[in-house]
Amino acid sequence: MNKTVKIGLISSVVALFSLTAGSPALAHDELISTSPSADSTVQAGVIPITLHFSEAPMDLGFGKGNLIAVADAETGEQFGAACAHISGSDLSVPVDLAKPGRYKVIYRVASDDGHIASGDIYFNVENTTNYQTENPGTVCVSDDGIVVRQIDQEPVSTKQSRISALEGLFIGIGFIIVGSIVSAVLIRRRQNSGTKQYD
Ligand SMILES: [Cu+2]
């Protein structure tokens, strides 16, 4: 690449960046801080999840557009519906959890230009108080008493098959062993019948 082309390319890239950086269309809600904070460990119980954004989300109605869902970090199984209360620049929802483990908070936030941004954070639950709950998951009831049910929504997170890489490896080895035995038996039989034929 010659020098003129190189300089031309660099200036175009710089020009493009300076154009887009100031564009208000790209000013979307950014996640600033969370509670529980990412990768922290909290006690089992009714845990308030609060996500603080750079600007106030656009209110699209309870259980629509602005969503917080909680799922098992390992299996992806979602606990309860996805919903969020809006307060200033915060989205929040209480989540009732008893089972110790790692959880994933998945969010969707609507900017005032209507674009939806999404992301996730993880936190851990420990249970040293023997806390128990009948209905683990988010408590999706609006201030007006509107209840959002999980079965009425598209899932935000779905449960994955629990076959781990190690289990997959053992299954693979199992197939190879069974396959080798079967072919060994078949070869032996063919050889035997061959011997009989030419005896
Ligand atoms: Cu936008």
Compute, in angstroms, the gap from residue 173 CA to the centroid of ligand 1. Answer: 50
Q: Ligand 1 center to residue 28 CA distance, Å?
A: 6
Three-class DSSP category at 190: helix
Length of the chain: 199
110, amino acid identity: A
Q: Where are the domains of the chain?
A: 28-152, 164-188
Through-space distance between the first and last CA atoms of the chain, rounded to whole angstroms: 76
CATH architecture of 28-152: Sandwich (2.60)
What spacing in Å lies between the alpha carbon of 197 and ligand 1's midpoint? 79
Q: What burial class does residue 111 get, using C-beta atoms within 10 Å of its C-beta: 0-12 exposed, 13-18 middle, 19+ buried?
A: buried
Report the amino acid identity of residue 124: N
DSSP 3-state of 71: strand
Q: How far is the CA of 69 from the centre of ligand 1 (A)?
A: 22
Q: Is the pTM of this model over 0.85?
A: no
Say how many Å lie between the CA of residue 29 and the centre of ligand 1.
9
Give pLDDT tens digits along the chain (199 positions): 566 666 666 556 555 555 454 444 556 889 999 999 999 999 999 999 999 999 999 999 999 999 999 999 999 999 999 999 999 999 999 999 999 999 999 999 999 888 999 999 999 999 999 999 999 999 999 999 999 999 999 999 999 876 667 777 777 778 887 888 788 888 788 777 655 555 5
Strand order across the 67-72 sheet = 41-43, 116-126, 101-110, 67-72
Calpha distance 126→101 (Å, rounded): 7
**Cα-based distances in Å from 188 to 175, 176, 179, 193, 194:** 20, 18, 14, 9, 10
Query: What is the predicted pLDDT for the residue at 22?
Result: 44
Quote the pLDDT of residue 5.
Answer: 64
Q: Which amino acid is at 27?
A: A
CA distance 21 to 126: 43
Ion ligand 1 residue ranges (Cβ < 5 Å): 113, 115
What is the DSSP secondary structure assignment for residue 59, as one 8-state letter?
A: P
CA of residue 43 to ligand 1 center, whole Å: 37
pLDDT of 188 = 82
Span from the CA of 82 to the centroid of ligand 1 (angstroms): 22
